């Protein structure tokens, strides 16, 4: 067992600042004393590793997996943003992407930015390792033009922030992150930890890094979403997942208070083991759900392909083209179908009507003209999670 007097300062200590308040100064990773791998932690680590392996295998059985990845990304974007108080749903995000709104609601803009930031970060991983520089780029994309967008997007904070209930002050906050002048050293140590080989299992290293990032809280706004994005980037960079198909924010949202409590227990009591167990349970649980989603996609796709083949006759080839396009863009118009299939508007309209009859498409605008249709079964598969 770790002695209590050492355990309490294991993650860092509060340091008095010249203006009178105290800010937390995190200890560098890995924790000292080292993480204690008791039987429960070892079991949870094995379960999480196994679940991620099954998830990776399930997704790779899908024909053209990249077609389906975007919906996983969208789902993670919606859930992570909801933790921060947005009310937007997956349907709202898809409607915004399909330009159904004249003025996109502010909440939806935040989710759209999350998708953009995640995709930007994944693309940049081919050229740049996870680093303070990359995190600043991603933060700029995340916060551009949305709530908090005036709070120095892409820039490390130069003033003190704090965490707590609405209306709290520095004196009454639940947690006060490092003072601004401490950020370069704290982030530099985190970056060094990420790129230094250790004997720690990769999932443990990722869990430690997420908690440390949230403790450092380097931006004036958007730190929660950035910390959850970091998990996705680390899983991808470490090749633990071939595709970003883990919507871990589902678990954090379901257990929001426990999520915050475990992070705070790390800071106050050095309870890294409690946080790791919570994190690994989430990985195993959500990886199993994500793998089940992949299996359900495969079953649904085959059922719809069979229905198109049997019911659309000579139009089946174009029907299959439309179906495949719906996995990337689940809301379409007749003109989109005409362009995709190279047919006339009338022929495309007929194809859309047939796809409605077999339950693939559903009209959602109620307009006589400029109608839009959604791939309802696919959207509902993710919305029900």
DSSP 22-49: EEEEEPPSSPSSPP---HHHHHHHHHHH
C-beta of residue 320 within 8 angstroms of C-beta of residue 306: no
Query: Percent of the chain, pLDDT > 90?
Result: 82
- Containing structural domain, residue 83: 37-161+174-291
Specify the pLDDT at position 100: 84
Both 265 and 184 in one domain: the answer is yes
Both 286 and 330 in one domain: the answer is no
Specify the pLDDT at position 286: 97
Specify the pLDDT at position 149: 59
pLDDT classification of 2: cutoffs 50, 70, 90: very low
Phi, psi of 161 (to 5 degrees): -115, 175
Query: Percent of the chain, pLDDT > 70?
Result: 96
Distances (CA, A) of 153 to 26, 140, 197: 24, 5, 31
Both 203 and 344 in one domain: the answer is no
Q: Does some domain include residue 72?
A: yes
Both 205 and 317 in one domain: the answer is no
Any idea of the CA torsion for 153, 157, 159, 165, to the nearest 10 degrees? 80
Q: Does some domain include residue 304?
A: no
- pLDDT of residue 78 exceeding 70, the answer is yes
| DSSP summary character for residue 163 | B
Q: What is the mean pLDDT of residues 338-346?
A: 95
Both 276 and 363 in one domain: the answer is no
Both 209 and 280 in one domain: the answer is yes
- Encode pLDDT of 223-258 as tens digits: 999 999 999 999 999 999 999 999 999 999 999 999
Q: What is the mean pLDDT of residues 264-272?
A: 97
- pLDDT of residue 350 exceeding 50, the answer is yes
| DSSP summary character for residue 181 | G
Q: What is the mean pLDDT of residues 61-74?
A: 89
Q: Does some domain include residue 128?
A: yes
Mean pLDDT of the chain: 92
Specify the pLDDT at position 1: 34
Both 337 and 282 in one domain: the answer is no
Both 187 and 48 in one domain: the answer is yes
Least confidently predicted of 51-55, 145-149, 212-216: 145-149
Phi, psi of 12 (to 5 degrees): 145, -175
Least confidently predicted of 119-123, 145-149, 185-189, 268-272: 145-149
Q: Does some domain include residue 301?
A: no
Range picked from 143-152, 160-169, 277-286 for highest mean pLDDT: 277-286
Both 247 and 368 in one domain: the answer is no
Closest CA to 59 of 330, 299, 298: 298
Q: What is the mean pLDDT of residues 95-100?
A: 88
**Containing H/E element for 374?**
strand 373-374
- pLDDT of residue 6 exceeding 60, the answer is no
Q: How remote is the C-alpha of 384 from its chain's centroid?
A: 17
Q: Does some domain include residue 155?
A: yes
**Which domain-ending residue is among 291, 326, 351?**
291
| Tally of structural domains, the chain | 2
Both 184 and 327 in one domain: the answer is no
């Amino acid at each position: 067992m770790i002695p209590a007097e050492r355990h309490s300062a294991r993650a860092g200590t509060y340091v008095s600042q010249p203006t009178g308040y105290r800010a937390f100064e995190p200890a560098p990773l890995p924790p000292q004393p080292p993480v204690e791998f008791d039987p429960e932690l070892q079991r949870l680590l094995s379960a999480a590793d196994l679940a991620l392996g099954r998830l990776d295998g399930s997704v790779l059985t899908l024909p053209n997996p990249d077609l389906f990845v975007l919906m996983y990304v969208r789902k993670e974007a919606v859930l992570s943003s909801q933790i921060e108080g947005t009310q937007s749903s997956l349907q709202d995000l898809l409607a915004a992407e399909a330009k159904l709104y004249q003025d996109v609601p502010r909440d939806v803009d935040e989710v759209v930015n999350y998708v953009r930031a995640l995709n930007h970060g994944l693309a940049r991983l081919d050229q740049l390792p996870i680093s303070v520089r990359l995190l600043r780029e991603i933060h700029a994309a995340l916060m551009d033009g949305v709530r908090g967008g005036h709070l120095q997007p892409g820039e490390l904070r130069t003033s003190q922030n704090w965490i707590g209930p609405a209306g709290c002050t520095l004196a009454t906050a639940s947690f006060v992150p490092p003072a601004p002048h401490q950020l370069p050293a704290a982030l530099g140590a985190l970056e060094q930890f990420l790129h230094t080989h250790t004997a720690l299992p990769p999932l443990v290293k990722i869990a430690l890094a997420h908690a440390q990032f949230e403790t450092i809280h380097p931006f004036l706004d958007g730190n929660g979403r950035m910390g959850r994005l970091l998990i996705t980037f680390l899983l991808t960079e470490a090749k633990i997942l071939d595709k970003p198909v883990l919507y871990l924010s589902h678990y954090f949202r379901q257990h929001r208070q426990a999520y915050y409590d475990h992070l705070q227990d790390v800071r106050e009591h050095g309870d890294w083991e409690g946080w790791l167990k919570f994190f690994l349970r989430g990985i195993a649980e959500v990886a199993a759900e994500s793998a089940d989603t992949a299996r359900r996609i495969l079953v649904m796709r085959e059922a719809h392909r069979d229905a198109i083949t049997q019911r659309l006759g000579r139009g089946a080839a174009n029907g299959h083209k439309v179906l495949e396009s719906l996995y990337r863009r689940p809301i379409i118009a007749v003109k989109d179908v005409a362009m995709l299939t190279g047919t006339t508007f009338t022929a495309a309209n007929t194809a859309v009507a047939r796809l409605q009859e077999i339950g693939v498409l559903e009209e959602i605008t109620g307009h006589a003209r400029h109608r839009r249709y959604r791939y309802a079964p696919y959207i509902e598969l993710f919305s029900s999670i």
